Amino acid sequence: MKAVVIRRYGPAEVLQYEEVEQPKIKPDQLLVKIHASSVNPIDWKTRKGMLGLLTGYQFPKILGFDVVGEVVEVGSGVTRFKVGDAVYGSTNFPGGAYAEFAAIPENLLALKPNNLSYQEAATVPLAALTALQALRDLGNIQPGQAVLINGASGGVGIFAVQIAKAIGAEVTGVSSTKNLDLVKSLGADRVIDYKQQDFAKDTAQYDIIFDAVGLRSLLDTKKVLKPNGIYITTLPSPKVVVESVLTSFLPGQKAKFVFEKPNSQDLNYLKDLIEAGKIRTVIDRTFPLQELAAAHTYSETGRAAGKIAIAIAS
């Protein structure tokens, strides 16, 4: 099969489109013919070696987490899927989705939303699971709460805005000038242009601040966070880790960071929201698998509005 592999950590040029051996499945796995994937910042951070302590130094590696495709083989222990099913999901760390086929455990997949194309569905799993688990599991989001999403037009932010609205929160989205209309169209009740205004110096206060781009901290935002509010980030910087440990023992405001945990139950929850029209996807650009290096380079600019899709098979 064709896949994009890395044989060392480094710049986008280390991504090589090659012929590799097709994976063999275990009893609890499905062999999925992948039709599409997407780019997430964790992909190029892994490629650069920024997560080397977690990913190790054995090569070659196939990166990529988001998978959408067709089941072509099922393991002897699989009970919920059959050959021919269209499925979507997020693979385990450190990936394996940038390929024509992947062997994936049954409990990491769900049936693809019926109203999404393969490429649209490929932009959902990791980013939307991150948003859902941050707001619901870490933030304990409730209807009527005031929620601010920093990076509301980014890959995670677009889903965070929509999930918060679906739950019934009052949502403020922070983005650049050019993406304010997009954030409004996703359902945000209020938008802030970070080029014109620092939300951390605003007069409004929030029950949850979800920093979907990992640029702030609890200390930065505590003045606009309610006394028992929760700051959640996608980036566990040393500062945030210290804040998280300290606030876990103290009453009042909390700092937390989210690590996406792929699972079928949450994918089915998202599927229901998507099919009900409460979540839509936003694709900035689509690249073929052969041009993955260009897709990574574009993602690293931080200018993508929504997600970057990767087309793998028709």
Q: CATH code at 174?
A: 3.40.50.720
Domain coverage including residue 233:
132-257
pLDDT tens, position by position, for the chain (314 residues)?
999 999 999 999 999 999 999 999 999 999 999 999 999 999 999 999 998 888 899 999 999 999 999 999 999 999 999 999 999 999 988 899 999 999 999 999 999 999 999 999 999 999 999 999 999 999 999 999 999 999 999 999 999 999 999 999 999 999 999 999 999 999 999 999 999 999 999 999 999 999 999 999 999 999 999 999 999 999 888 888 899 999 999 999 999 999 999 999 999 999 999 999 999 999 999 999 999 999 999 999 999 999 999 999 75
pTM of the predicted protein model: 0.96
How many structural domains are present in the chain? 2
How far lies 252's CA from each of 222, 229, 249, in Å? 11, 7, 10
Sign of CA dihedral 180, 181, 186, 187: positive
Q: CATH code at 10?
A: 3.90.180.10
Residue 274: inside a domain: no
Residue 15: inside a domain: yes
Residue 305: inside a domain: yes
CA 120/CA 99 separation, integer angstroms: 18
How far lies 212's CA from each of 17, 155, 231, in Å? 31, 9, 11
Residue 13: inside a domain: yes
Residue 263: inside a domain: no
